[in-house]
Structure 1
Amino acid sequence: MQDAFKEIAPRLAGLRDALDLSVEAFADVVGTDAQTVQQHEAGQSEIPVGYLMQVAKATGVELNTLIAGSESHLLSYSVVRNGKGLTVERRKDYDYKNLAYRFKGRAMEPFKIMVPPKEQKDVTFTSHSGQEFIYMLEGRLEVSLGDKVEVLEPGDSLYFDSRTPHGLRGLDEKPAHFLDVIL
């Protein structure tokens, strides 16, 4: 299976070309630097969902279009049945399911995420614009936020500024399942 970021990269480059923007101008529109734009358009590494959300918001293109290459169509409501969310294969160690992928003009991106257990040294950090809300469903999740560490259990929630570097891992040798809403 091809890495998802290799499929997303040409859509990003195509969007920039369609907007007739240089790499530098696109970086300004998105709120990042030209090196980041070039790296993501080249498909050389994973593309953070936060970056894709920045591109979607700045250009008016739906996140689905960037991730899956298709647009949402439902305007009044959308039902996604258990286990049927749009799989977002952007990280090998997390299982993302977008729970609102059919709804056009979303103001937020809700995901059901599974994070496997791992050693502290194997936690990878990310940061992106926006805010994030986590609601724990199953297992225990360690969330590192900068130099702070929180352990969440079923029923716990966490709201934070997504610009804070954050890393996640399941605890007790079990995966953690949670809802994650990104604004």
Structure 2
Amino acid sequence: MDEQIKQIAERVRGLRDALGLGIDEMAESCGLASAQYAAIESGECDLSVSSLQKIARHFDVPLDVLMFGEEPKMNAYFLTRRGAGVSVERTKAYKYESLASGFRNRIADPFIVTVEPKPEETPVYFNTHAGQEFNLVIEGRLLLNINGKELILNPGDSLYFNSALSHGMKALDGKTVRFLAVVMQ
């Protein structure tokens, strides 16, 4: 996991270097705090997909290039076989498997997200990003907190929401949760 985060950090730093921008300029142009952006480049902290998405969209770079180091090539269709999507494990608790990494100019980013259980007292990590999000639970039970409202989703349950609202999730019952997440802007 740490190696993947460091590789993402190197790609983000490489983008900034290619653009000839300083850390403060890069952060400001992407709507991120300088400290938040510097933490992304350091590779020593958790990376949010939404922060990477902000950077990618601002500079018109495919999210896959930053996350996976691969340039999308297809523009008619892209097939992802079960379990064969390009994946990145951001933290020990979250793994993202891209389901459309090879499709160019897509308007949504679909992922299979795997959330590992944490000790009950572990706080929920919250995130916000532009756009909308759709989540469909495949297995396990998921606690999803949106703007202070706690919702429990069971297999087959789905939720569509404004992702600019503060949201966070947690696996329940000490079991792994897998869900389909589609992030749109």
TM-score of the superposition, structure 1-length normalised? Answer: 0.92
For residues 115-160 of structure 1, what are the alpha-carbon distances to aligned partners after superposition, in whole Å with 9 as ceiling and x for unaligned? Answer: 1233443132222333211012222111112321000112211112
Percent of residue pairs identical: 39
Unaligned runs of 5+ in 2: none
Q: Distance in 1 between matches of 2:23 and 2:30?
A: 10
Number of residue pairs the alignment of both structures matches: 183
The residue correspondences of 1:12-91 to structure 2 (distance < 5 A) are: 12-91=12-91
- Measure, in 2, the Cα distance between the counterparts of 1:118 and 1:41: 26
* Preserved contact between residue 144 and residue 150 of structure 1 (Cα < 8 Å): yes
The question of whether the paired residues in 2 share the 8 Å contact of 1:3 and 1:89 is answered with no
CA distance in structure 1 between the aligned counterparts of 2:162 and 2:37, rounded to whole angstroms: 23
Report the Cα distance in structure 2 between the residues aligned to 1:42 and 1:171, rounded to whole angstroms. Answer: 31
Q: How far apart, in 1, do the equivalents of 2:181 and 2:57 lie?
A: 18
In structure 2, C-alpha distance between the alignment counterparts of 1:34 and 1:150, rounded to whole Å = 33
Tell me, in whole angstroms, the C-alpha distance in 2 between the residues paired with 1:116 and 1:38: 27
Change in 2 beyond 3 A, CA 1:38/1:98? same
Structure 1 runs not aligned, ≥5 long: none
The 1:181/1:66 distance shift into structure 2, 3 A limit, reads same
One-letter amino acid of the structure 2 residue matched with residue 150 of structure 1: L
Give the ranges of 4+ consecutive aligned residues of structure 1 lying more than 4 Å apart after TM superposition: none
Distance 1:52 1:11, change over 3 A: same
Q: What is the SS of the residue equivalent to 1:109?
A: strand
Cα RMSD (Å) of the superposition?
A: 1.6
